[in-house]
Amino acid sequence: MNDSVALLQLRGLEKSYAGHSILSGFDLTIFDGEFFTLLGPSGCGKTTILNMIAGMEMPDAGSIVLLGNDISQVPAEKRPINTVFQSYALFPHMTVFDNVAFGLRMQGVEKKQIKPRVLEALEMVQLAHLADRKPAQLSGGQQQRVAIARAVVNQPKVLLLDESLSALDYKLRQQMQLELKRLQRKLGITFIYVTHDQEEALSMSDRILVMHQGKVQQLGTPRQIYENPANLFVARFIGEINQLDGEIVSVDGDHTYDVKVEGLQWTLKAQHNFTAGDKVHVLLRPEDLRVEYIDDFHASQYLVGTVVERNYKGKTLDSLIRLGSGIEVLASEFFNEDDPSFDYRPNQKVALKWVPGWEVVMPAEKSEAAA
């Protein structure tokens, strides 16, 4: 990945349908060779952005600049950009070979060059042996791979993937995630992936843009987005998260605050600036929480609750714990057979602990956008 080279720039994009604004003043820079993901719930505008990059839709205003050239008025068929569609959209009357060769033929590539290039692309997705089949004779995963080969064979500057894995079953999807990432590294082509699946986004991307209702929520690496969500929407959309309400008691120093949560006072770090009296959310990932046995004597020092439910998940053991205020918190711990303290019963009193600093403190939001 070459961080310094801006491959694609979207500047001030506007789009509305029937007077309803989908995007306004949208800016984005995508670097050469990165795996970029547009993540958001359906209707957030991510597919509209993809369609405008592909040329299937034209922006109402703004420009799309590819390697310094404004391509916003260039029709889709003339853009050096290819798409892997959600529905694969393979040509049913053509063989796998002809499907993959289609783009090359349309561009007028010399006939004797077509065959080796098509076979190379098919080999890359391990389908060279099925070149003579029709799409209907392939499994979903194989069709997916043909769609990828059909797009990458044209050596596009940018490859767009529109929810490309969502039609596959769980196991195949996981496998294809790895394959896609491997392929992207190997080809060095910039991938722009659109999905509503946060797990997919986290596992494949170099950078993720989280969107909601046409607005950018956060742009960052998967780690930044998971560990330091910019707002409550991002925190809730990316993975499970527990939300506790608190209030700043005093400022202790640089980004360190005394915070009152669940009747107890904690010293917490925060990226935001607060003053005493500010309402805050304290967010904790379920996997960062530890559940421990507690006796009545020590109970006053910890976040204490009663076990409501225990769910064995194989890899992890999930506990739903009701705190004193009535809020329910999920803790997800790796299963350890040798640890006897793991055996809690419903209604048992337990303490919740976490490594200091793993919590996220952010300003309380009034309108709570549901993820």
Partner 1 sequence: MRIFSKLYIALILSLIYLPMFVLVINSFNQSKYGVKWGGFTTSWYTKLFNNDGLIQAALNSLTVSVIAATAATVIGTLAAVALHRYQFKGKALLSSMVFVAMLTPEIVMAIALLIVFISLGITLGFVSLVIAHITFCLPFVIVAVYARLKEFDMRMLNAAKDLGASELRIFIEIILPLILPAVISGWLLSFTLSLDDVIVSAFVTGPGYEILPLKVYSMVKVGVSPEVNAISTLLLVVSLTIVIISQLLIRKDKTQ
Where on the chain is the footprint of partner 1 (CB under 8 A)?
Answer: 54-56, 76-78, 81-83, 85, 87, 89-93, 102-103, 106-107, 134, 136, 150-151, 154
d(CA 51, CA 39): 15
**What's the chain's Rg over C-alpha atoms?**
25
Q: What is the closest distance, in whole angstroms, from the C-beta atom of residue 158 to partner 1 in the complex? A: 12
Q: What is the closest distance, in whole angstroms, from the C-beta atom of residue 120 to partner 1 in the complex? A: 17
| Closest to 89 in 3D by CA, of 177, 175, 172, 164 | 164
Q: What is the closest distance, in whole angstroms, from the C-beta atom of residue 128 to partner 1 in the complex? A: 20
Q: What is the closest distance, in whole angstroms, from the C-beta atom of residue 93 to partner 1 in the complex? A: 5
By beta-carbon proximity to partner 1, the closer residue of 6 and 94 is: 94
By beta-carbon proximity to partner 1, the closer residue of 78 and 313 is: 78
Q: What is the closest distance, in whole angstroms, from the C-beta atom of residue 132 to partner 1 in the complex? A: 15
Phi, psi of 135 (to 5 degrees): -55, -35
d(CA 199, CA 66): 29
| Closest to 363 in 3D by CA, of 252, 216, 229 | 229
By beta-carbon proximity to partner 1, the closer residue of 55 and 222 is: 55
By beta-carbon proximity to partner 1, the closer residue of 78 and 185 is: 78
User: Would residue 78 be called left, alpha or beta, if left means φ above 0 and alpha means ψ between -120 and 50 degrees?
Assistant: alpha
| Closest to 235 in 3D by CA, of 325, 364, 324 | 364
Q: What is the closest distance, in whole angstroms, from the C-beta atom of residue 45 to partner 1 in the complex? A: 19
Q: What is the closest distance, in whole angstroms, from the C-beta atom of residue 156 to partner 1 in the complex? A: 10
Q: Which helix (H) or strand (E) holds 199?
A: helix 198-204
By beta-carbon proximity to partner 1, the closer residue of 157 and 260 is: 157
By beta-carbon proximity to partner 1, the closer residue of 77 and 295 is: 77
Helix 170-187 / helix 140-152 crossing angle, nearest 10 deg? 20
| Closest to 159 in 3D by CA, of 99, 219, 85 | 85
By beta-carbon proximity to partner 1, the closer residue of 75 and 346 is: 75
For residue 217, the one-letter residue type is Q
Q: What is the closest distance, in whole angstroms, from the C-beta atom of residue 339 to partner 1 in the complex? A: 53
By beta-carbon proximity to partner 1, the closer residue of 76 and 369 is: 76
**Residues making up the chain, counted from first to last:** 371
**Six token digits for residue 147:** 């769609």
Strand-by-strand arrangement of the 61-66 sheet: 20-32, 2-17, 61-66, 69-70
